[in-house]
Amino acid sequence: MALRSPTAEQAEVILSNSDRLCVFACAGSGKTFTLVQRIVRLVKEGTLPNKIAAITFTNLAADHLRRELVRELGDHAAATQIFAGTIHSFCHHLIQTCTADLLHETLVLSD
């Protein structure tokens, strides 16, 4: 569980009922803390972990995010079901998961 309390702005993001949020803030402002706390709240309130995607800009940030999710959720299987990665890895994940069924029914021709 988090050892610190969120600021008013962070609490607004953590408690938002919006399906999608885009948070822009400077380095060191607590974006990872805020995102992790929001995800923890969603999971505890019943959101399926495999329906959550947290997208970052760097692999380093994605690794840190995944570590924080495991720490906050414990060794809970939920932490490994949450997608946390870069926009590039998210697109790759979508291509792998969403086109698998289509490729079985589609003839792909390439040069």
For the stretch 50-70, pLDDT in tens is 999 999 889 999 999 999 999
In terms of Cα–Cα distance, which of 19, 24, 57, 61 is closest to 38?
19
Q: How confident is the model at residue 102 (pLDDT cuts 50, 70, 90)?
A: low
In terms of Cα–Cα distance, which of 64, 42, 5 is closest to 53?
42
Q: How confident is the model at residue 19 (pLDDT cuts 50, 70, 90)?
A: confident
| Model pTM above 0.75 | yes
**2 pLDDT more than 70:** no
- Asked if 55 and 26 count as a contact pair (C-beta separation under 8 A), the reply is no
